[in-house]
Structure 1
Amino acid sequence: MKIRQHIGRFWRSSVAGGKYFKLAWKHPHFAWLFMNCVETDFDSTVANIDHLARRQTAMLGFRKELQDFNRLLVSAGRNPLNDVDSYPCLDDRTAETGFDRHYIYHPAWAARVVAAFNPKKHVDISSTLHFATILSAFVKVDFFDFRPAALVLTNLSSEPADLTNLHFQSDSIPSLSCMHVIEHIGLGRYGDPMDIDGDKKAARELSRVLAKDGRLIVAMPVGKPRIQFNAHRIYSHEQVLQMFETLTLVEHALVPDGAAESGLIMGPDSDVIAAQSYGCGCYVFSKQ
């Protein structure tokens, strides 16, 4: 189905579609922004359009089901529900349980790396909070973020830190992680200063503070190298190795664009990584 057909379906089938086209007619720059999204990421834009259309259809079905449920309540001698108490969940009726493959697989992979290394303490910088909080059940974790998280758990501390200027001494951290973070540094998405080399500075700081014979775990988008402002950067395998050129690669894995039988691809070659659009590269480095 071509993009014009998707847009037409969206327009005709949803209230949101009608509102969008009225807005685009009055404000041409809004239409330009939409078409730029189409040209930048066609598949994602089409998926979002279809999602909105499906939600509009599902909302109509929800209203009918609410009426049916209220009739069941009344027939049982109970009070019907008020509209104000309704809580439409429109995306959960699926044949299988969906999940974000990046954010399920890379923390699971990293936890296994930490378990094998078995450090007395682990330092994590800005990775998904699920990783640090669950890991703290088994090993002491010091968590740091540019936007500190108000976490209160035993065996876990949470403090602020600037990844481009870490306050740690050189060669001081034996077990360190920073996953799905570097690609954002310097793009301003999270309130950090604009810096076209922010990711490189972050990589140098991580390399500097890693202890001799320590382990650094990093994860970032890999595939065709590009910057998708202000969301993230995407790197080639070679770019990742170059950013951490003072360290030694211990192991690496890939969460590919599509589902893989093994979940992750262990030790993929650079051609497999280069074939991705938005894969997740998982790397372990050490310092000699």
Structure 2
Amino acid sequence: MSTSAGFRRALKSGLQAAGLLDLARLGLHASSLVLDLRRLPSTVTSLPWFVRTWRQYEALGGDGLKLRDAQPCLTDRGESAGAASGHYFHQDLWAARKVHASGAAEHVDVGSRVDGFVAHVASFTEVVYVDLRPLEASGHPHIKARVGTVLSLPFADRSVPSLSCLHVIEHIGLGRYGDPLDPDGSLKALAELQRVVAQGGDFYLGVPIGRERVCFNAHRVLSPQTVLRALGELSLVEFSAVNDAGDLVRDARPEDFSQADYSCGLFHFTRR
């Protein structure tokens, strides 16, 4: 018997023995319970609630419940609607507002979140999205995908007037996404991004900042000074940041974040 099959059988037996879930009656397979170990305590304590609501639904005359179709969502009712804070929330809105204010007729993005920043920008202008991995067809007329890598962008020198790369370069060279290992991966990515920024163009960069280190193999954290030195051909227009608490700090000072734990630097550069 495979390890996974044994686990499912043990889980099923344990739940039945505990009287938490009558799996035999409900016909609900343990494999349909997607376990997140961080939520395991609340998941287990919610099992009786699931059984109770199932029976209440049936008692109300609800029919059509098929046991094989059951998909228990055991913790959603106790969670919040979401968090209007953190790196991605503030970063994506910060950069999208800047692109909108610039009036760019076309914007090039390298590897940022498609269902976040890219979607925001596609609501008001054309987006050329570059990533090593092919993008599944979105059907959105404003999103054009191009296969490429941040280490070798498919653009001529100084040819891109509006460019972004958000929460991407910190991963380069660590092998997390199947890319070759390279201790200088992030610096090489910055050099390549700098190469394509047009004269008078805008470049929006989001990257983890603070006490410089490699958190192998998830990401790097760069000091703001490292970023500024690496992009020495460009001029800094604005520096804002998402601090360690997840709050946006507008018009911040880079030096104030040199010893942060895990903040997000939001850099707006131009080539003068």
**Short-chain TM bin:** 0.7 to 0.9
Question: How many residues are paired up?
Answer: 235
Shift of 1:100: 6.1
Which of residues 239, 247, 264 is equivalent to 1:252? 239
Whole-Å Cα distance in 1 between the matches of residues 264 and 158 of structure 2? 27
TM alignment of 1:187-266, pairs within 5 A? 187-260=174-247, 264-266=248-250
CA distance in 2, matches of 1:221, 1:232: 9
Deviations 1:190-238 (A, max 9, x none): 1111111111111111111110000001100001100011111101111
| Matched residue SS, 1:253 | strand
SS at match of 2:78: coil
Q: Which runs of 5+ in 2 are unaligned?
A: 1-10, 12-35
Q: Which residue of 1 aligns with 2:122?
A: 136
Q: 2:92 aligns with which of 107, 123, 143?
A: 107
Q: Name the structure 2 match of 1:181.
A: 168
Tell me the distance in 2 between the aligned counterparts of 1:125 and 1:247. 18
Q: Name the CA distance, whole Å, in 2 between partners of 1:185 and 1:274.
A: 21
For 1:185, give the aligned amino acid: I
Q: Over residues 168-188 of structure 1, what are the superposed CA-to-partner deviations in whole Å (9 max), with x where a residue is unaligned?
A: 111100000011111111111
When normalised by structure 2's length, the TM-score is 0.80
Q: Which residue identity does 1:120 align to in structure 2? A: A
1:168 aligns with 2:155: yes
**Higher-helix-fraction structure:** 1
Residues in 1 aligned to 2:192 and 2:57: alpha-carbon distance in whole angstroms? 62
Alpha carbons of 1:151 and 1:278: their partners in 2 closer, same or farther (altered >3 Å)?
farther
1:101-152 Cα shifts (integer Å, max 9, x gaps): 1111101000111011111110001011121233112111110001121132
Q: More displaced, 96-105 or 265-274? A: 96-105
Q: Identity, % of aligned pairs?
A: 33
Secondary structure of 1:224's aligned partner = coil
Q: Is 1:151–1:157's contact at 8 Å kept on the other side of the alignment?
A: no
Distance of 1:136 and 1:124 partners within structure 2: 11
Contact kept? 1:70, 1:81, Cα under 8 Å? no
1:75–1:237: structure 2 CA closer, same or farther, 3 Å change rule?
Answer: same
With a CA cutoff of 8 Å and minimum separation of 6, indicate the structure with the bigger relative contact order.
Answer: 2
Matched residues in 1 for 2:42 and 2:195: separation? 52
Distance 2:110 2:74 in 1: 34
User: Is 2:190–2:230's contact at 8 Å kept on the other side of the alignment?
Assistant: yes
Match of 1:127 in 2: 112
Deviation for aligned residue 1:83: 6.8
Q: Which amino acid aligns with 2:225?
A: E
